[in-house]
Chains A and B, each alone.
Chain A
Amino acid sequence: MSIQVRHLRKAFGDFVALDDVSLDVPGGELVALLGPSGSGKTTLLRIIAGLEPADEGTILFHGEDATTQPVRERQVGFVFQHYALFRHMSVFENVAFGLRVRPRGVRPSEEEIRDSVMGLLKLVQLDVLARRRPSELSGGQRQRVALARALAVKPKVLLLDEPFGALDAKVRKELRRWLRRLHEEVHVTSVFVTHDQEEALEVSDRVVIMNEGKVEQSGTPEEVYERPSTPFVYGFLGDVNLFHGRIHQGRVNIGPGELEAPGWADATNQAGLAYVRTYDVELGPTPSGPSSLAAVVRHVRAFGPVVRLELDLVQGGGTIEAHVARDRFDAAALAKGRQVYVSPTNVRVFAEPGSERRPA
């Protein structure tokens, strides 16, 4: 079932949590709401669930207005950040809860409840722990109980709030892959909130990037990563170098040198931001073009397949971070203290926020 969010606004006192947010979640997809803390992503999720009322705007489930529908009628599954398992109930009873509280007429029989709960526990690989209390489970197991509990009511939409936030790195990776597979199996429209870009890009079909209560960009992981549409998205996804400078006739002057500014040919002396991804630079002993900048290697971190370097620009203007594939890393030429030339191979230039003009 698809979800449409239209012009949502929500303020807590003076703090504007959501500012005219619109969003489309196609049916059956797994969508990530990605953003730094305070960007409004959890508030948006809670409003979709019905746990929080919106000040303005509408929410449509499958084209039908659900804005004023009470939570319990929305048929959503919600997985809380800290799981919110019922601590006095066994794993089995936790999962069975949603079925047991149904009105008598539509409540499944005890046998049906047992079958469906045990089926779900098998799905999340916890059937052997059905009698345990939540307090006797590890974090990852609790997370899976919370998922099974949310799925037990056959929700039309599954909403997950920082589903892996409280877990350590290794369990997180496992659960991430597992969630992906689970989604392929049950295929319920799912939205999850995360502040971890890697998690969002790896798991989801679509990523919605939020900042300060607004949607910055949404698209497939490839789209948002390869073609960030705003400076914020560029800075938020992946490691980048940022230069402030002035754009003039297709070039941007960043102090120690000039870089090409594709698409800004008719700009005249405008404040701009130039982004260069850390792996979009070439390092060489001689300048390779007009955009090459002289720099001194300050720090080398040579473990793993990628060598990370920190370089000081010779003519001032701060430091540059560069990631070089190990097989192209020349240890002798790039030792600490050596002077090299940094040539950005891919520059993305934005107008400084607040100055009006956009690239042609």
Chain B
Amino acid sequence: MATIAVSRPATTAPRAVTRATGESPAVRWTLIGIALTFLALTLLLPLVLVFHQALSKGIAAYLAAIREPDALSAARLTLLIAAIAVPVNLVFGVSAAWCIAKFEFRGKNLLISLIDLPFAVSPVISGMIFVLLFGMHGWFGGWLFDHDIKIIFAVPGMVLATTFITSPFIARELIPLMQEQGTEEEEAAIVLGAGGWQTFWRVTLPNIKWGLLYGLILCNARAMGEFGAVSVVSGHIRGETNTLPLHVEILYNEYAFAASFAVASVLTLLAFVTLALKTLVEWQQRRAEADRVEAVLPVERIAA
């Protein structure tokens, strides 16, 4: 046994040492190949197709489709809905995350699960919920009708549905971040004489700003792109209750393919902008995180 153990290093010495988790080149390239093919088929090809179709009748037709009054009105409505839903969720998300991360209370786990609900149910069902609540035959339908308030098949319903669908983004992003940071810095601020608002603006917010921005970007992207729930409550009235995604569908169903894809390309461009912003924020966040890790590590190294 001893001789084998001694001679073994000599025979293996010339071989290149590979890391324990390293794979052979063949395996690596096969895996990368599969991933790239998949990406090309499911992402790149549709993307190229959108722009190909959008420009199939020339630039003039493309611009005309975008400038068409119904398309412009859809774009305005999309922006309006996002402009309401995103700030509402900003306030909700920050407060919910603050509650969950900084306080102990009964029913905390239930609240965390509830925040995830919009992610868990199909958007169409989310839309249906609002129809059941506020529609003509819904719980509040009669009362709303008596007071001449229109929610379903009108803009308020679309705003509600979008807000509901996009509510988890910011809270979900902030909860783990705030939990990890704990409450010590806030306590330090309060002991030093800071009030609640001062503590929030000067201590809490700067610590979560990159995570918050990340959540905002995702929330905004979803608010502008939401189809299912909005479709159920919209009523599809052209020029009135049509958002960009709904407008794309209408044009497509009318066989106006070029116009439909032209509008779709606007949404696609929006996605690009979102991705670029998201990457930028992620990069900043990693830098902030590196700072944070640094802030913890040296102490422990000394203590060890």
Which residues of A pack against B, CB within 8 Å? Answer: 49-51, 71-72, 76-78, 80, 82, 84-88, 97-98, 101-102, 133-140, 142, 149-150, 152-153, 166-168, 171
Contact = CB atoms under 8 A, between A and B. Distances in A.
A311 B189 CA distance: 55
B224 to A, nearest CB: 31
Contacts of A82: 184, 299
Given A80-B187, A88-B206, A98 B299 contact: no
B191 A87 contact: no
Nearest to B207: A88
Interface in B283-304: 291-292, 294-295, 298-300, 302-303
B292 A98 contact: no
Q: Which of B184, B191, B203 has the most CB of A within 10 A?
A: B191
Nearest to A76: B191
B57 interface: no
Determine the interface band of chain B, counting residues with CB < 8 A from chain A.
Answer: 20 to 34
Contact of A86 (B188, B193, B195, B292): B188
Nearest to A51: B187
A327 B248 CA distance: 96
B193 A78 contact: no
B198 interface: yes
Contacts of B291: 87, 133, 135
Contact of A101 (B193, B206, B292): B193
A337 to B, nearest CB: 37
Contact of A138 (B192, B206, B207, B298): B298
Interface in B166-196: 184-185, 187-195
A84 B292 contact: no
Contact of B190 (A71, A77, A136, A140): A71
B22 to A, nearest CB: 33
Contact of B198 (A51, A80, A101, A168): A101
Nearest to B292: A87
Contacts of A76: 191
Contact of B303 (A134, A149, A167): A167
Nearest to B187: A51
B108 interface: no
Contacts of A140: 302
B67 interface: no
A97 B202 contact: yes
Q: Which of A77, A87, A137, A166 has the most CB of B within 10 A?
A: A87
18 contacts: A50-B191, A72-B192, A72-B194, A80-B188, A84-B185, A84-B187, A85-B188, A86-B189, A88-B206, A101-B189, A101-B202, A135-B291, A138-B298, A152-B192, A153-B192, A166-B303, A168-B302, A171-B302
B192 A149 contact: yes
A71 B191 contact: yes
